[in-house]
Amino acid sequence: MDIATLIGVIGGIVLLIFGMFTSGLSFFDVFDLPSIFITFGGGISSTLSASPYSRVRNIINVAKLAFIERKSSSIEIIVKLLTLAERARREGLLSLEDEIAEIEDPIMRKGLQLVVDGTDQDQIRSVLDTELSQIKSRHAGNIKFFSLLGGFLPAFGMIGTLLGLVQMLKNLGAGDPAVIGQGMATALITTLYGSIGAYIFAIPIRDKLTERDGDELLERSIMIEGIIGIQQGENPRVLKDKLASFLSPSERPLLDEALGGEK
């Protein structure tokens, strides 16, 4: 579980409720069923209309990724690539064929298979860059869903505000304070719901998925450079320095420790 996401969402809700009660409001003061239908029903419906079905059917699983902690595997990837590079340098590229079946990651497996098959550097990079582009495109689509949702929710909150104002003005001549108050409540609460949905849920999830996307693309870039280095027969020490440049300064000592442990 990603503690930061959990604390952010739960903390936002709790502080919102705390602020509501300390200001003298009750639950029923801010609960309005028509406003929920207008804001969340309209926002979700428009987001669904703007998204392909293939993306929508998996969006719950995508949203879960924002709440699941993803540990960086960059160091493990570099260690694995350097191990393969040392073996290839000692025994030749064909010696890596036994390792391919045990590799779970599809991009690393495909890249190493191309190396073993004797594919030239440009073709290997072209194939792997295409795989990387597909990952970017898929991630961008998932991120776009929550970006759209974060825009549509406040928009429908404003639509609800306009409907509430129409209702209020329509009954203004009757002089009934209860009816006028109901219209004003609907007008304001829909805007509140739109802001809550967008800024506590949709936009934070979008930003967290963007962060996840960057982490995965970094790992894939490390794989591609490592595979190309193996294909070119680079010295493992030189390859280590090249791949370590992808890591933050705080991670580089951890890489040295991992390599020391391997030895």
Between the alpha carbon of residue 21 and those of residues 72, 125, 238, the distances in Å are 41, 59, 62
Query: Residue 183 has what pLDDT?
Result: 67
* pLDDT at 163 (0 to 100): 84
pTM of the model: 0.84
H helix intervals, 50-202: 53-56, 59-64, 74-91, 97-100, 106-116, 121-170, 177-196
> Which pLDDT does position 263 carry in this prediction?
41
Identify the pLDDT of residue 131.
92
How would you label 30-48 residue by residue, b for 16+ Cβ within 10 Å and e otherwise?
bebebbeebbbebbeebbb
Rounded CA-CA distance 170/95 in Å is 81
- Between CA 7 and CA 11, with CA 9 as vertex, the angle to 5 degrees is 55
**Do residues 221 and 185 touch, judged by C-beta distance below 8 A?**
no
- Give pLDDT < 50 ranges for the chain: 262-263
Token output for 127: 């194939």
For position 182, what pLDDT does the model report? 67
Give the pLDDT of residue 54: 87
